[in-house]
Amino acid sequence: MTITIIITSITGCNSGSDNLNMMSIPSFTSSIEGYVFKEGTTSSSAPNKATTLLQPASTESVLSGVVVSIYGTSISTTSDSTGYFKLEITDRDYLGIRKITFKSPSGTSEYGNVVLNINENDRKLYRVKLNTVNKNNEVIEFNPDDKTTIINRFPLVDAGPDIYTNNFTNDYIKIITENSYDPDGDISTVKLDLNNDMVFERIEPYRSRYIISDRQHYFTNPGTYVVNVLMMDDMGGVALDSMNVYVQTNNRMTNFKPVAYITEGDAAQDGIIEANGGTQLKITGYGRDYDDLPGISLTYKWTQVSGPSVSMSFSSDTTEMTFTPVSGNDYVFNFYANDGTYESEPAQITVKCDSSSTGGTNTGSSEGYLYYEAENIIYRLNTQAISETALTGSTYISTYPCLTSDGSTLYFSSNKSDSENYDIYTIPNTGGTVVRVNNTQSTTNINKDEFMPFVSSDDKIYFVYNSSLNSMDITGSNIKQQIDFNGKMVKFPTVSKDRDKLVLCSNRDTVNSFELFLYDLDSSGDVIETSEVQLTTGNNDFYPSFSKDGSFIVFYRENSSGNGDIMKLDVATKNLVSLTSDSFDNAYPIISSDDSKIYFTSNRDNDMGEIYYMTITGSSITRLTDNLYKERFLVFGE
């Protein structure tokens, strides 16, 4: 099956492009309109928009609800019941060659893409066929039989790296445009606007570098200057890019900001790589320093922007990064170069690993049972049947549930046997007899309250007592203090599935802020206190939970309004992503065993709050419960 998209017109105001020197380019409006349809029987709803548009033939049926957008912008619309769409553009920054993407109503399955020239006073008529198996998002060539005007692809302008300089008038700067080119012809004219007023002081033939030596007229005072570089091709197509000149008195010499990039040889069109799940992927970035000074070497780093958190392998002295993608996921990474003074703008790459690729599928489940405390009772919730069962009684307080690694037994804090003290108790995961764990009663060597237990995969219980982190065997023996926080508070200790890391919350370094601290564990499960790494700073961060492979942590952060946001932190890079950012109180996140879902509590539908879940990237928030009591301290089990 083929998808056919008709782009019928692009219209706009006249820029006076035949006389651009010393003349302003006004703001403009352009419109792109057309129909989206596929082969087959035509729709019963006849197209009824612009009669001048090339409409679907009798052998083709319209596609309604298709999301049509300009790639890399917020400009978007949806095709109506007749398949018709119209995009309105009002920003001159969108001059030039642009990719228009077409996606299904769900926003996940792409029908395809077309590349158009968005120009002022430009009118074209296109008929473009896209194949649904075109998963690489390739630029689709126009069908020459249906093309009614000549298609001119505009220049791709790169104004070059930003410059840091001083205000000495005997210095000069270089504008480096060597990465600019015209995809279907030649660049005939280059115009430089040195004052960011769209008045072009310099008109030149195309060269790779331009020297601005008359500094007495430009860049004489400290500040930030925007230089606009406009290029016109041999068919009159115009495109624009900008760079910055930072004039600072503390600069000893002119210094280019380094440039980071990833070439088309390493990525498909528009910076997208197709990958196979379960197979290690290597991505190579490139960095360049245009200063050409001896003794300067670049360092590099990679960060993950989105997608399920992965373990990236890279070093600062090489440009390569490797990781293993998982089928059914998309990943976005940034690559940076640093010359020791300035860091480049990021070069971004997207890795797509569709669900049809083999290998790398996570084990575990996104469905199972949630355990939590609500109104001092421990509950068990079937996430598929949405049915819950009370496991503990209402005549005593039970709180802070946790599970053994096999999911068979629940541990929690309670005052069941001693109303003055909280001890650690256990119960089968489906309910039954509640038993106090040995040697934690108030009559033994640990008195008072033991809170927030966590059972590691080797059946060691970590718990909070007073202002210290402690541990004991699953039977309650071998009680041992792990860390004394010297009067400061400690909360929510959590151990990775591999039993090699422990994370907790504490205000040990501050008075008012709870921050996350990470520790290594030795082979016996004892905390190596000297390995401490502070993961977050200056906020109130609570209830951390490790992913299956230990590469990332989710937790909730109290924001300035007193509500909570669900956060996701890469352990290796400390790259932090906010998965929720709204006016609701989101808290107690826990990850499903296959790392595909995050369950959490929120008051987004009522004041008491309910349990919700979302994807690991923070999308598709869905309500799970409707019971009008406040759930806390979620735990996931299969």
- Identify the burial level of 305 via C-beta atoms within 10 angstroms of its C-beta, where 0-12 means exposed, 13-18 middle and 19 or more buried: middle
The two tokens of residue 144 are: 């020459």
Q: What's the mean per-residue pLDDT of the chain?
A: 76
Last residue of a domain, one of 256, 289, 312: 256
- Tell whether 180 and 110 lie within a shared domain: no
Q: What is the distance in angstroms between the CA of the first residue and the CA of the last residue of the chain?
A: 41
Measure CA 65 to chain center: 26
- CA–CA gap between residue 490 and residue 465 (Å, rounded): 9
**Taking 70 as the threshold, does the pLDDT of residue 224 lie above it?**
yes
- Tell whether 438 and 309 lie within a shared domain: no
Residue 544 within a domain? yes
Query: Starting at the edge strand that comes first in sequence, how are the strands of the sheet with 540-546 ordered?
Result: 540-546, 552-558, 564-570, 576-578
Quote the Cα angle for 451-456-462, to 5°.
30
Residue 157 within a domain? no
- Tell whether 520 and 406 lie within a shared domain: yes
Last residue of a domain, one of 146, 179, 203: 146
Residue 553 within a domain? yes
- Tell whether 377 and 445 lie within a shared domain: yes
- Tell whether 434 and 563 lie within a shared domain: yes
Contact 583, 597 (CB under 8 A): no
- For β-strands 347-353 and 272-274, DSSP reports them as parallel
What percentage of the chain has pLDDT greater than the value 70?
Answer: 72
Contacts of 74 (CB under 8 A, 6+ apart): none
Instruction: For CA atoms 349, 355, 356, 360, give the dihedral sign.
Output: positive
Identify the band that residue 626 occupies on the pLDDT scale cut at 50, 70 and 90.
confident
- CA–CA gap between residue 164 and residue 341 (Å, rounded): 10
The residue count for the chain: 638
Q: What is the DSSP letter of 419?
A: T
pLDDT of residue 445: 47
Identify the band that residue 555 occupies on the pLDDT scale cut at 50, 70 and 90.
very high
Nearest to 619 by CA among 591, 579, 585: 579
Residue 362 within a domain? no
Q: What is the DSSP letter of 560?
A: T
- Classify 452 as helix, strand or coil: strand
Contact 33, 86 (CB under 8 A): yes
- Classify 92 as helix, strand or coil: helix
Contact 127, 143 (CB under 8 A): yes
Last residue of a domain, one of 256, 277, 303: 256
pLDDT of residue 498: 87
Residue 151 within a domain? no
- Tell whether 236 and 276 lie within a shared domain: no
- CA–CA gap between residue 348 and residue 570 (Å, rounded): 18
**Taking 80 as the threshold, does the pLDDT of residue 434 lie above it?**
yes
Residue 583 within a domain? yes
- CA–CA gap between residue 16 and residue 406 (Å, rounded): 73
Average pLDDT of span 355-381? 69
Supply φ then ψ for residue 249, to 5 degrees. Answer: -65, -20
List 505's β-bridge partners, or say none: 491, 516
- Tell whether 428 and 545 lie within a shared domain: yes
CB-CB neighbours of 489 under 10 Å? 13
- CA–CA gap between residue 52 and residue 123 (Å, rounded): 12
Q: 215-247: string of b/e by CB count within 10 Å (b at 16+)?
A: beebbeeeeebebbbbbbbebebbbbbebebbb
pLDDT of residue 467: 85
pLDDT of residue 210: 82
Write out the residue range of the structural domain in which residue 325 sits.
260-353
Contacts of 432 (CB under 8 A, 6+ apart): none
Measure CA 121 to chain center: 37
pLDDT of residue 1: 35
CB-CB neighbours of 488 under 10 Å? 15
Higher per-residue pLDDT: 568 or 387? 568
**Taking 60 as the threshold, does the pLDDT of residue 552 lie above it?**
yes
Q: Output the domain CATH number for residue 344.
A: 2.60.40.10
**Taking 50 as the threshold, does the pLDDT of residue 411 lie above it?**
yes
- Tell whether 182 and 267 lie within a shared domain: no
Exposure on the CB side of residue 45, measured as CA atoms within 13 A: 12
- Tell whether 491 and 595 lie within a shared domain: yes
Contact 636, 591 (CB under 8 A): yes
Average pLDDT of span 193-210? 82
- Tell whether 276 and 403 lie within a shared domain: no
Higher per-residue pLDDT: 440 or 448? 448
List 369's β-bridge partners, or say none: 382, 637
Q: 499-516: string of b/e by CB count within 10 Å (b at 16+)?
A: bebbbbbbbbeeeebbbb
Contact 580, 618 (CB under 8 A): yes
Nearest to 496 by CA among 507, 504, 488, 506: 504
Residue 191 within a domain? yes
Contact 112, 140 (CB under 8 A): yes
Residue 364 within a domain? no
pLDDT of residue 139: 31
Q: In this predicted model, what pLDDT tens digit does every residue of 109-136 receive, in sequence order?
A: 556 656 565 655 444 433 333 333 333 3
Q: Tell me the three-class secondary structure of 114-174, residue by residue.
A: EEEEECCCCCCCCCEEEECCCCCCCCECCCHHHCCCCCCCCCECCCCCCEEECCCCCCCEE
- Tell whether 224 and 281 lie within a shared domain: no
Identify the band that residue 30 occupies on the pLDDT scale cut at 50, 70 and 90.
low
Q: Output the domain CATH number for residue 387.
A: 2.120.10.30
- Classify 93 as helix, strand or coil: helix
- Tell whether 252 and 284 lie within a shared domain: no
What percentage of the chain has pLDDT greater than the value 90?
Answer: 22
Q: In this predicted model, what pLDDT tens digit does every residue of 457-504 receive, in sequence order?
A: 888 999 998 889 999 998 888 899 999 998 889 999 999 988 899 999
Contact 158, 37 (CB under 8 A): no
Nearest to 424 by CA among 384, 458, 471, 391: 471
**Taking 90 as the threshold, does the pLDDT of residue 92 lie above it?**
no
Report the domain count for the chain: 4
